[in-house]
């Protein structure tokens, strides 16, 4: 996400690396590169101008701190200005009421509104609250049905009225239904249009007036750059928005809209869409995101993601089993299924300082195939072997390999991974950022994954030789990681 902006800023900071003192001239060179990086990321010109003015004033007037290198000083100043630009201390907490909380979602057609309704419902239910989706898009014939499909995929009920023509009445009835049925949050999926028009705005204003949602969120497509900013401005003029949800930041979005929207509209971003899957919605924290843009990672979000996405009950059970020495290969398989979900590892690694390159390399890893390979080996074991892999001697290893169509070395690798996972689970179950850090340390040191994103197995053990390209890639990756860690 926003790799080119990250790269641009990194090269700006690099110009100051090795320079002993912060002078006006070396700072000017660095600042010019920061400005270029922002413009290339398609940040609005006015935003760049205001941003650069603030940064330059601070940078040039800054006393040279003996303890900090010029590069570190500029990073610090840019970090502060970026946090401000992204929304300061705005935070994505929904502040649910005791009574029913109503969230109105609006946006242009195709921005990702319906998908985001589902993602939001999923996040709410992960927090133990009950959500209800309300089909208030009566404009597009298939919209109601689409919301039902989305609702089913996140296990959330959908309120809709067959043949209804009045979206306001549908929203009011949905809120009443929620009150009668102990539901905590109603998410209104309102109609979108291809462009902003008076009729759409009028309908939204009437819903706003008559249903009185607690929050109005605008969903905008981050891939559309400045158009997203302009539509945020128009919707905010009409509706007084509480927040923007910017979608499709997983693609080639350069980030300009993300950096411009708060400055131009005054409305902060509250969530970002990071994939088309239902787990692809991340709460947006300006300080954490600034840290990510500057390549410093976001350990807190990574930890929260682990808490949210890994079944905590299962983590707890596993810890108990570990403590009793009962962790088995069946448990191992369950854990793998959680951890190796497509996209999850990439997202988590993307939050690690300096791991941007690794996430690119993880793209395209065939997790399902890998899961089948590992599952096949586990299925070929006896229950006793699954409970106690130490029983697996040479002849058992030969039998399991034969039964699952792999080499005995691969069975060996699986058992090694099992041992790694056992200590990983201990770290995770230990909880806190430390647990997540421990898990990441293992990933980083390559104990779990190979550079293609598959669960690690040595190429020698499978009889395949490393190609020259593999060797080159590994070298490049090591070099990059080493450089960034400096």
Ligand X SMILES: Nc1nc2c(ncn2[C@@H]2O[C@H](COP(=O)(O)OP(=O)(O)OP(=O)(O)O)[C@@H](O)[C@H]2O)c(=O)[nH]1
Alpha helix segments (H runs only) across 65-193: 70-86, 113-126, 143-153, 167-180
280 binding ligand X? (CB under 6 A): yes
Pairing of strands 269-273, 243-247: parallel
250 binding ligand X? (CB under 6 A): yes
3-class secondary-structure state, position 2: coil
- Only one of the segments 123-131, 153-161, 272-280, 339-347 lies at the binding site for ligand X (rule: CB under 6 A); that segment is 272-280
* Closer by beta carbon to ligand X, 77 or else 216: 216
107 binding ligand X? (CB under 6 A): yes
Q: What is the DSSP string of 406-464?
A: S-HHHHHHHHHHHHHHHHHHHHHHT-HHHHHHHHHHHHHTTSSB-TTSSBP--TTTTTP
Query: Is 369 annotated as belonging to a binding site?
Result: no
Integer Cα distance of 56 and 81 in angstroms: 10
151 binding ligand X? (CB under 6 A): no
* Closer by beta carbon to ligand X, 142 or else 468: 142
248 binding ligand X? (CB under 6 A): yes
In the chain, DSSP finds a helix count (H) and a strand count (E) of: 22, 8
Residues forming beta bridges with residue 105, ordered by sequence position: 189, 217
Q: How far is the CB of 223 from ligand X (least distance, A)?
A: 8
Considering only residues 15, 115, 291, 346, which one is a binding residue for ligand X as defined by CB under 6 A?
115
Q: How far is the CB of 274 from ligand X (least distance, A)?
A: 6
| Size of the residue set binding ligand X (CB under 6 A) | 20
Query: Angle 286-293/70-86 helices, nearest 10 degrees?
Result: 140
Query: Is 97 annotated as belonging to a binding site?
Result: no
Cβ 74 vs Cβ 160: under 8 Å: no
247 binding ligand X? (CB under 6 A): yes
110 binding ligand X? (CB under 6 A): yes
203 binding ligand X? (CB under 6 A): no
- Contact map string, positions 338 to 377, toward ligand X, x by CB under 6 A: ----------------------------------------
Interior/surface letters 86-97, b for 16+ CB within 10 angstroms, e for the rest: bbeebebebeee
Query: Is 101 annotated as belonging to a binding site?
Result: no
Q: How far is the CB of 112 from ligand X (least distance, A)?
A: 3
Q: How far is CA 232 from CA 98, 206, 211, 317, 453, in A?
A: 30, 19, 22, 46, 37
Would you list which residues are annotated within the binding site? 107-114, 189-193, 247-250
Residue ranges of the binding site for GTP = 107-114, 189-193, 247-250
- Residues lying near ligand X in the complex (CB under 6 A) are found at 107, 109-115, 140, 143, 192, 247-248, 250-251, 273-276, 280
């Amino acid at each position: 996400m926003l790799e080119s902006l990250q790269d641009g800023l990194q090269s700006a900071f690099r110009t100051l690396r090795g320079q002993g003192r912060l002078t006006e001239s070396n700072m000017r060179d660095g600042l010019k590169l920061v400005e270029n990086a922002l413009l290339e990321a398609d940040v609005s010109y006015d935003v760049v101008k205001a941003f650069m003015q603030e940064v330059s004033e601070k940078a040039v007037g800054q006393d040279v701190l003996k303890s900090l290198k010029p590069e570190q000083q500029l990073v610090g100043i840019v970090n502060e200005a970026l946090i401000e630009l992204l929304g300061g201390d705005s935070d994505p907490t929904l502040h649910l009421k005791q009574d029913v909380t109503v969230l109105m979602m609006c946006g242009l057609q195709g921005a990702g509104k319906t998908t985001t309704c589902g993602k939001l419902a999923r996040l709410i239910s992960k927090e133990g609250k009950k959500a209800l989706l309300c089909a208030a898009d009566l404009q597009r014939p298939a919209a109601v049905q689409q919301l039902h499909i989305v609702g089913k995929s996140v296990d959330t009920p959908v309120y809709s009225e067959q043949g209804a023509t009045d979206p306001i009445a549908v929203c009011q009835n949905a809120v009443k239904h929620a009150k009668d049925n102990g539901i905590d949050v109603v998410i209104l999926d309102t109609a979108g249009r291809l462009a902003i028009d008076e009729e759409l705005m009028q309908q939204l204003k009437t819903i706003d007036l008559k249903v009185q949602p607690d929050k109005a969120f605008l969903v905008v497509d981050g891939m559309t750059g400045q158009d997203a900013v302009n539509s945020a401005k128009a919707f905010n003029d009409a509706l007084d928005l509480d927040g923007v949800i910017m979608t499709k930041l997983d693609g080639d979005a350069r980030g300009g809209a993300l950096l411009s929207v708060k400055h131009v509209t005054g409305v902060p971003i509250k969530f970002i869409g990071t994939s088309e899957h239902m787990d692809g919605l991340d709460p947006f924290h300006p300080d954490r995101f600034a840290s990510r843009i500057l390549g410093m990672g976001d350990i807190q979000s990574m930890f929260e993601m682990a808490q949210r996405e890994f079944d905590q009950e299962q983590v707890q059970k596993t810890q108990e089993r570990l403590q009793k020495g009962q962790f088995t290969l069946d448990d191992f398989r369950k854990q793998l299924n959680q951890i190796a979900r497509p996209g999850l590892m990439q997202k988590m690694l993307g939050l690690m300082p300096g791991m941007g390159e690794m996430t690119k390399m993880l793209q395209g890893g065939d997790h399902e195939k890998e899961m089948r390979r590992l599952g096949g080996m586990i299925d070929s074991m006896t229950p006793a072997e699954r409970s106690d892999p130490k029983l697996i001697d040479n002849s058992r290893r030969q039998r399991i390999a034969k039964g699952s169509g792999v080499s005995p070395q691969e069975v060996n690798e699986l058992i090694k991974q099992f041992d790694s996972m056992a200590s990983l689970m201990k770290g995770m179950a230990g909880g806190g950022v430390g647990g997540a850090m421990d898990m990441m340390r293992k990933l980083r040191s390559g104990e779990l994954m190979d550079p293609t994103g598959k669960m690690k197995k040595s190429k020698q053990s499978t009889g395949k030789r490393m190609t020259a390209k593999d060797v080159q890639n590994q070298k490049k990756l090591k070099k990059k990681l080493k450089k960034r860690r400096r």
